[in-house]
A and B are shown apart, each in its own frame.
Chain A
Amino acid sequence: MTRFYAVALLALLPGVAAAQAQELKIGVIYTVDGAWGSYGKKGFQGVRAAAEDINARGGVNGMKLKLVEYDNRASPGELPNIVRQLATVDNVLAIIGPNTSGEAEIVFPIANQLKVPVLGTSVAKGGILTKNRPWAFRNVMPDDLNTGPVIAQVVKEKNIKKVAVIMDVKDPVSKYMGSFFWPGLFDKVGVQNLTKTDAVTFQSGDPSVAAQVSKLKSLNPDAVVLAASPGDAAKIAIEIRRQGMKQQLLGSGALVGDEFLKSGGNAVEGAITAAQFWRENPDPKAHAYLMALEKRTGEPPVLHDAYAYDAVLAMAEAVGKGGVTNKPQYLAMDRERIRDALDGIRVAGASGAWSLDPKTGEVERPMMKALISGGKWQLTPISTSSQ
């Protein structure tokens, strides 16, 4: 009898191996730790939900998606090994992630060198794709393309003449925004930047920001610009109100989400940022995806799970459109096919309709102004003609 089972098992093994070979392996790198950990938590939720949904519909060309997930635990030092592991040991077809632009500056060049398509979902630093083409893409709009036009319109509407910027010098994205993006934007629109030569800085993880806020108060700006992660930005906003400052708060699209809203409470009421993700999108297809995502995660979707969900949709579309064989001996060719299919791809997903520019790899999607009013984000699309 034992021999019977052994023989039966041996007979089944090739079938098992064949089934495994039919899995389309997509690598995922996020982290649920650190200042930007909330992005990664939502990112993982988004990719898992999309893979389950696609597999429930029968997969892609009869093959199921398999996510190979890594959490780099907010440690950039682990990223080179993770990318190489995904590319050369796990043999994934493509990679989705990582969490932040600082991490993408490590992941993208290695993926580009190893010729693996990589699609970032929450890496918003301007210019990050330029050096990492043709294999790097992102479906999040960079801050300079999204935040610039929106805030330029806001300062005009609100008659803001002078601003003060507070930035996190430990976080690469916030430092880039505070040092280059915001000063450049305010120069362009003719707004006086009171912190241009004497920057007001903090470091993520600093327990108190009272001293920085006192310095901001002494400058008496019309608006304070927060170049910080959502949690730190909320902490600064609370201290700003506690010290009696009533000034307008401005920020980039990085602040849009529940963390800034919930942590900031009353202090962030009236804050304005740019936005590109619209939870209340009236488009029926996006609405259906978002409802399904909310049902699955038990939480209202935010940019990070919606974009991660859409990244998997894009990969599935690229696999189908590109005619991927999914045979180990054709892995390099399959990766090229996915890369070519991602160039100019059009997706109608949880975050609405978007496409990737075939030249730059950057996403094209509508821009919005986000205002916190009544404890909620209220989004208003802006016309690109106002730029």
Chain B
Amino acid sequence: MDLLLQQLYNGVLIGSTYALVALGFTLVLGTLDLLNFAHGETIMFSAYAGLLALLASGGSLPLAMAIAVATGALLGTAVYLGSFRFVSKKYWTAPALSTVGIALILQTGATRLWGTEQRAVPDPLGDANLQLGPISVGLSHLVILGVTVVLMLGLHLLLKRTRLGKAMRAVAENHVTAALLGVPVERTIALTFLISGILAGAAGALTSLVYHTITPFIGLNILLKGMTGMVIGGLGNVYGAMFGGVLVGMLEVLAVGYLSSSYQDVLVFAALIAVLMFKPAGFFGIQVRDRA
């Protein structure tokens, strides 16, 4: 029982980072129907930027977070410019394919800049642990979970309580109608990419703390897990992304804990297939509509 509780906690911790990944991914998908394949590499690149800041500052976590988030925002904007703003919308695959190109550039750039070896990410809060009954909780975990919850709440408030959130939801519903109603569509799309980048930056900093090490190759794995979480939760639904991300983390950890590491992807992707077969809109999904 003690092991199960510890494993469930491990699942929530890893899942919360997947949820952040899924959130950033689903924002762009929900608004534009665009799969941003550069999202995983944006997270990886931001993680490296955060690590460099952490090392240069002698272990300042707030500075590392700020630099990672700024890098994510910058790259999110670059993805908007490089694969959406100036790419022909005549072919619906063109923007998505160009995000693949950006992903490859980021990964190759990272291998050239920082090499292919694993880089250790020192925990600025050290090995200090809180023992909550049978569960061992690291101090840095509290920061990770706290920041994740704050970001999720912030996104919820942004979408529900602000003009930008309303504009984003309007654009997600229908670009043309939103434009006719006076919504600045292009600016809203740019800001959506920016916010998605900010979430990617935060996810980069937090995942590197959870994983203890980073390599230039973590992006694809994170992206796949985030995408799976998003689909399980419901395409384009931010609450679904939160739920789906945490569920993926739980499934992964339980597979490792009670089966074998070889089954973790099997279990996660079997769950994905099951959801697509029996609940194709995901747990929080809505009826799919044709766009105008």
Contacts and interface: CB of A to CB of B under 8 A. Distances in A.
B265 to A, nearest CB: 9
B75 interface: no
6 contacts: A33-B111, A207-B210, A207-B222, A208-B211, A211-B256, A241-B127
A169 B262 CA distance: 8
A298 to B, nearest CB: 15
Interface in B173-210: 207, 210
Nearest to A231: B118
Contacts of A202: 256, 261
Interface in A260-286: 262-267
Contact of B138 (A32, A33, A234, A242): A242
A206 B261 contact: yes
Contacts of A33: 111, 116
A203 B256 CA distance: 11
A207 B221 contact: yes
A37 B117 contact: yes
Interface centre among A207, A215, A231, A238 (most CB of B within 10 A): A207
Interface in A214-248: 214-215, 217-218, 231-232, 234-235, 238-239, 241-244
A241 B118 CA distance: 19
Interface stretch (B5-13, B23-31, B50-58, B83-91): B5-13
A37 B123 CA distance: 25
A205 to B, nearest CB: 7
Contacts of B217: 205
A225 B122 CA distance: 23
Given A202-B261, A208-B211, A243-B136, A231 B253 contact: no
Interface of A: 32-35, 37-38, 169, 199, 201-203, 205-208, 210-212, 214-215, 217-218, 231-232, 234-235, 238-239, 241-244, 259, 262-267
Given A215-B3, A242-B127, A207 B207 contact: yes
B14 interface: yes
Interface centre among B13, B207, B257, B264 (most CB of A within 10 A): B257
Interface centre among A214, A215, A259, A265 (most CB of B within 10 A): A214
B10 A211 contact: yes
B191 to A, nearest CB: 30
B264 to A, nearest CB: 8
B213 A231 contact: yes
Interface in B255-269: 256-257, 260-262, 264
Contacts of A242: 123, 127, 129, 136, 138, 212
Contacts of B120: 234-235, 238, 262-265
Nearest to A202: B261
Given A205-B217, A207-B221, 6 more contacts: A203-B262, A207-B222, A211-B252, A242-B127, A259-B117, A263-B120
A329 B264 CA distance: 56
B11 to A, nearest CB: 8
Contacts of A238: 120, 123, 212-213
A203 B261 contact: yes
A214 B256 CA distance: 10
B116 A32 contact: yes
Given A201-B262, A207-B221, A210-B10, A215 B257 contact: yes
B169 interface: no
Given A214-B3, A264-B120, A207 B211 contact: yes
Given A214-B10, A235-B118, A241-B127, A201 B211 contact: no
Contacts of A38: 117
A212 B59 CA distance: 27
Interface in B196-253: 207, 210-213, 215, 217-218, 221-222, 252-253
B2 interface: yes
Interface centre among A38, A238, A242 (most CB of B within 10 A): A242
A34 B260 CA distance: 23
Contacts of A267: 127
B3 A232 contact: no
B166 interface: no
Given A37-B117, A234-B118, A263-B118, A169 B261 contact: yes
A211 B207 contact: no
Interface string B1-43: 0110011001101100000000000000000000000000000
A235 B211 contact: yes
Contact of B13 (A35, A210, A265): A210
A117 B131 CA distance: 58
Contacts of B262: 169, 201, 203
Contact of B119 (A199, A207, A263): A263
A31 B162 CA distance: 52
Nearest to B2: A218
A102 B253 CA distance: 28
A235 B127 contact: no
Contacts of A266: 127
Contacts of A265: 120, 122
A208 B14 contact: yes
A231 B212 CA distance: 11
A75 to B, nearest CB: 13
Nearest to B122: A265
B136 A201 contact: no
A202 B213 CA distance: 15
A232 B6 CA distance: 22
B117 A214 contact: no
Contacts of A234: 118, 120, 213
B136 A244 contact: yes
Given A169-B262, A205-B221, A242-B138, A211 B257 contact: yes
A262 B118 CA distance: 11
Interface centre among B14, B118, B119, B136 (most CB of A within 10 A): B118
A260 to B, nearest CB: 10
Contacts of B257: 211, 214-215
A212 B7 contact: no
Given A207-B221, A208-B210, A34 B119 contact: no
Nearest to A73: B116
